[in-house]
Amino acid sequence: MDFLPLFHNLRGSRVLVVGGGEIALRKSRLLVDAGALLRVVAPEIEVQLRELVQGSGGQVIVRGYTESDLNGCVLIIAATDDEPLNAQVSQDSKKRCVPVNVVDSPALCSVIFPAIVDRSPLVIAVSSGGDAPVLARLIRAKLETWIPSTYGQLAGLAARFRSQVKNLFPDVQQRRAFWEDVFQGPVADRQLAGQGAEAERLLIAKINGEAPSAGGEVYLVGAGPGDPDLLTFRALRLMQQADVVLYDRLVAPAILELCRRDAERVYVGKQRADHAVPQEQINQQLVDLAKQGKRVLRLKGGDPFIFGRGGEEIEELAAHGIPFQVVPGITAASGCAAYAGIPLTHRDYAQSVRFVTGHLKDGSTDLPWNDLVAPAQTLVFYMGLIGLPIICEQLIRHGRSADTPAALIQQGTTANQRVFTGTLANLSQLVAEHEVHAPTLVIVGEVVQLREKLKWFEGAQSLV
């Protein structure tokens, strides 16, 4: 190990920064975040840096560096592009045995800055010893995605009860087991879901030796339109901790793969007009499984609250007092539009966008056609394939031009995505010609013509 990682308490301590430009500013921000009092010395100092230093009670000295600037400082940063000066600062600091960092010159440093993941009070530092800083930054980026932003709050909660727990369990083994339980159980679940008060309540109950409720929980999670890259961090985390997964037809196999390996998987897929498992039965299943104490993942295509019947499912859970979390997902409209190069709104073409169900209950009468033909509006039809001839006909009959551009996007965002564009007049014909099948999204409006300009983007996406 070339460098020993230590975490430096700088609160209220004086730190010297030599340099007044962009790099000095970057380092100064970190130092101020850590509570340091800065002394910044340089012949010229950028306004932003000046404001930062003065705003945090530090000292700005506009002139060249002199050795006496080191007086009283516990850490020295040289951030100039003047190599001899950087070397001088390094030498002076080492002579006084004060830690020194010279930006981008590992050989002149006695301490180096790591790449930082800040979930204060939890802080993770990654370093390559100055050999490959880009690699360290990439690792940091991976950690950023992996560690929920609420982790710091979890650590904060633990800090508040630390001494109480220490008194309760003088034995270190017992204490460790207690905290392991906290960080991997319902307390952590609640805190990471942003429900701090409930997490605290559970922790207090645990400290008081009250038996934890045996009840499980349901995660209603939007899995996005197909590309696994479009999952949210929270979705992925819950997918990896659930005991049982209820999923339907719209959830891509590649996404299901990301669930915990040993989780039980239950298919409750629904085909249009052929409800494999009736909705009431799914609701009941969620309730039953949660009552058995399981963490149940209800995985849905797109967003659970957009034509996903998510509302009905949580109504049932709420009625039974079962805790649940809802995790939004990227809905088909956003995903398909982005991957097909069709912006849903555009200053010149559409000032609003409307998500419409194309599932027509009684022929054609149940959609507000007069509203749907309003100008400068993009329409996105979900489940619109079967009713498409009626939809196009009614839009034209109610006044939308037969030439209005329209697009069909089949299996959007997946490797099998197919896009066909035409007009209201010929869209149904395209379905037959190209054997378009579900799931397909229909976009109607002038914005569709932008695809010609933005299409390259689609190829770029699929390369990723």
The binding site for ligand SAH (CB under 6 A) comprises 225-226, 250, 300-303, 306-308, 331-332, 336, 382-383, 409, 411-413, 438-441
Cβ-based nearer residue to ligand SAH, 151 or 382: 382
CB of 176 to ligand SAH, least distance (A): 43
- The two structure tokens encoding residue 25: 């500013």
CB of 48 to ligand SAH, least distance (A): 42
Tell me the residue nearest to ligand SAH as measured from the CB: 302
- The two structure tokens encoding residue 38: 């800065």
**Residues of 103-112 as b/e, b for ≥16 C-beta within 10 angstroms?**
beeeebbbbb
Cβ-based nearer residue to ligand SAH, 76 or 330: 330
Partners of residue 327 on adjacent β-strands: 221
CB of 207 to ligand SAH, least distance (A): 41
**Residues of 174-209 as b/e, b for ≥16 C-beta within 10 angstroms?**
eeeeebeebeeebbbbbbbbebeebbbebbeebeee
Between CA 239 and CA 141 the distance in angstroms is 21
Q: Report, as residue numbers or ranges, the catalytic residues.
A: 248, 270
Residues 6+ apart with CB under 8 A from 110: 93, 94, 99, 100, 101
Cβ-based nearer residue to ligand SAH, 394 or 413: 413
Q: How far is CA 276 from the centre of its chain?
A: 32
> Taking a C-beta distance cutoff of 8 angstroms, is the pair 45, 62 a contact?
yes
Partners of residue 363 on adjacent β-strands: none
Task: Provide the 10 A C-beta neighbour count for residue 44.
Answer: 8
CB of 326 to ligand SAH, least distance (A): 12
> Taking a C-beta distance cutoff of 8 angstroms, is the pair 448, 454 a contact?
no
Cβ-based nearer residue to ligand SAH, 217 or 227: 227
CB of 445 to ligand SAH, least distance (A): 16
CB of 268 to ligand SAH, least distance (A): 14
CA neighbor of 36 nearest in space, from 19, 21, 58, 61: 58
